[in-house]
Structure 1
Amino acid sequence: MARPRKPLLNRERIVATALVLVDEEGLQAVSTRRLAAELGVSGPSLYNHFRTKDEILDAVADRICADVDLSMFEDGTGWREALLGWARSYRAALTAHPNIVPYLAQGPGRRPSQLRMADAVFGAMTAAGWPRAQATHIGALMRYFVAGSALGSFARGFIDDAAVYAHDYPHLGQAHLLAEHQQDVDEGAFETGLHALLDGLALRHPATPGRG
């Protein structure tokens, strides 16, 4: 009998395999040699699809950002509610793949999904009356905030040992319980910061009474 044919090597398989490596082992695990081994192909065959490792990581990052919902910038939603919905969707995409966040923080480069995101945010802010410079600052600010919130867990950093905090840190008597409630703490912190940030921006909007 003929031996089963291996699946054809294509960009989709390469990106999917790279994403698994990033999720399970971190960015440092991705190399053309490692990918070739995981895919069961020779190293040079990858170069038929990607010229460099960075191009592969760009494609991984682009796939993740493609899951971010941008519809709120196109359906007439007010700028504040649009930023609120987008930030939540953006964070959800990043927290599903936190190891890619440092790479995404380098900027959009040529990644189509991230460029579409930047275009949508900037366009919506200028359409809502924000001056172009401030619209740029808002887009950058929101991305800093979301990426930072997805980079790690504050709550998970506290160990489950009450004795560590008992004597020297009198205000941290319940800190050993934080890791157990990690999701509630981290999501609560994100929501608190997000609403505070948007409330502050609303006070600075050119149409806010008293400004001028």
Structure 2
Amino acid sequence: MGRPTKPILSRDRICTSALAIVDEEGLAELSMRKLARSLGVQISSLYEHVKTKDDVLHEVANTIMASVDVSGFETGDWRHGVASWARSYRAALAAHPNIVPFLAYGPAHREASLRRADTVHGGLVAGGWAPRYATMIGASTKYLVVGAAMSSFAGGFDDDIQVYVDRYPHLAGAYRLRERADEIDQDSFELALDMFLDGLTALHARVAASAEDSERS
């Protein structure tokens, strides 16, 4: 029998299997040996496509970041751009929370991440922000999004009312939080994002006024 015309492995198939392991078992549980088993190939075959576990994770991260929408900056409205980017960014990470710690380290050499960082930075500068502020806004948005995507605030409470009765009078209703975790976490993220954007809008006006004063003096 001749050799198959198409390779058994592909980058997409490797990424899909690796992400499934991370989603189901956690980041620490991914190994090249386990990945090879899940793909039904010898580990030597896997090494022909990717050299290390980090290479695999970068491929997976690149795939996830490719789904993040930064097209809002095309409108020329920096506030709309940040808002739509942050929401899309959170949705992409929240779908795969186990890999967020790896993504949190930064874009490294990942094409999808760098392209989005470039678009965000360019959109902010075009919107009147100085490059240094654009960098800090990008970083601050990442802090907000990554924190929201890594865990659930509401889901972290116990649903047993006896935990709170008598001992924690101000948390008498906390046992209800877990059942409404998705709603509360979403609304909390939107509140934080709105406050963040309102603060940036006020800062933008002050920076612009300061620049005008400098030009007149």
Q: 2:174 aligns to what?
A: 175
Q: Distance in 1 between matches of 2:208 and 2:89?
A: 31
* Alignment pair present for 1:106 and 2:105: yes
Give yes or no for contact 1:202–1:208 (8 Å, CA) kept in 2: no
* Alignment pair present for 1:94 and 2:105: no
Q: Distance in 1 between matches of 2:62 and 2:36?
A: 21
Q: 1:132 aligns to what?
A: 131
CA deviation after TM superposition for structure 1 residue 77, in Å: 4.0
Q: 1:134 to 1:78 in 2, by over 3 A?
A: same
Per-residue CA deviations over 1:117-159 (Å, capped at 9, x if unaligned) read 1101100011111111110000011011101100000111111
In structure 2, runs of 5+ residues without a counterpart are 212-217
SS in 1 for 2:167: coil
Give yes or no for contact 1:129–1:206 (8 Å, CA) kept in 2: no
Residues 184-199 of structure 1: pairs in structure 2 closer than 5 A:
184-199=183-198
Residues 1-212 of structure 1: pairs in structure 2 closer than 5 A:
8-74=8-74, 76-205=75-204, 211=210
Give yes or no for contact 2:73–2:80 (8 Å, CA) kept in 1: no
SS in 2 for 1:166: coil
Give yes or no for contact 2:76–2:123 (8 Å, CA) kept in 1: no
Q: Distance in 2 between matches of 1:66 and 1:102?
A: 18
CA deviation after TM superposition for structure 1 residue 53, in Å: 0.6
Q: Distance in 2 between matches of 1:209 and 1:16?
A: 47
Give yes or no for contact 2:22–2:99 (8 Å, CA) kept in 1: yes
**TM norm structure 1:** 0.93
Q: Distance in 2 between matches of 1:198 and 1:17?
A: 38
The two structures, once aligned, show a CA RMSD in angstroms of 1.7
SS in 2 for 1:205: helix
How many residues align? The count is 208
Instruction: Give the aligned residue type for 1:46.
Output: L
CA deviation after TM superposition for structure 1 residue 210, in Å: 5.2
CA deviation after TM superposition for structure 1 residue 164, in Å: 0.6
In structure 1, runs of 5+ residues without a counterpart are none
- Segments of 4+ in structure 1 off by > 4 A? 206-212
Q: Distance in 2 between matches of 1:79 and 1:73?
A: 6
SS in 2 for 1:167: coil
Q: Distance in 2 between matches of 1:203 and 1:18?
A: 44
Q: Distance in 2 between matches of 1:162 and 1:114?
A: 44
Q: Distance in 2 between matches of 1:125 and 1:209?
A: 14
Q: 1:77 to 1:126 in 2, by over 3 A?
A: closer
